[in-house]
Amino acid sequence: MRIEEHPILDFKRGKKIKFTFNGQEAEGYEGETIAAALHAAGVKVLGKSLFLHRPRGFYCAIGNCSSCLMVVDGVPNVKTCVTDLQEGMEVETQVGKGVII
């Protein structure tokens, strides 16, 4: 779900771009973060906790927590809530310290 209109905020989306999430094709817009694009696509679990592997989702959206850490283009522990989406990115969920699930 994406917010299309807001009484105060102005959304200036760029063009639609494609990326992969866990091997599946996904879409987002230029100017939005990876986590925002995944959330809009219905992905609610972005990773799992280090020890008990409990699900973690889109939480702070400002890079302060570790709930959105994912593997992006082979690099583990990328904070997807503050990383801009780019055409052709490969995004994968991870468990704990960067083990791809």
pLDDT in tens, 36-48: 999 999 999 988 8
Which pLDDT tens digit goes with each residue over 18-29? 999 999 999 999
Q: Judge residue 22's burial from the number of C-beta atoms within 10 Å of its C-beta, 0-12 exposed, 13-18 middle, 19 or more buried.
A: middle
pLDDT of residue 96: 65
Domain ranges of the chain: 16-100
Q: What is the CA radius of gyration of the chain?
A: 13
Phi/psi of residue 62, nearest 5 degrees: -130, 10
What is the third-level CATH fold of 16-100?
A: Ubiquitin-like (UB roll) (3.10.20)
Mean confidence (pLDDT) of the chain: 87
Distance CA 22, CA 57 (A): 16
Tokens of 67: 């709930």
Distance CA 100, CA 22 (A): 9
**Of residues 15 and 10, more confidently modeled:** 15
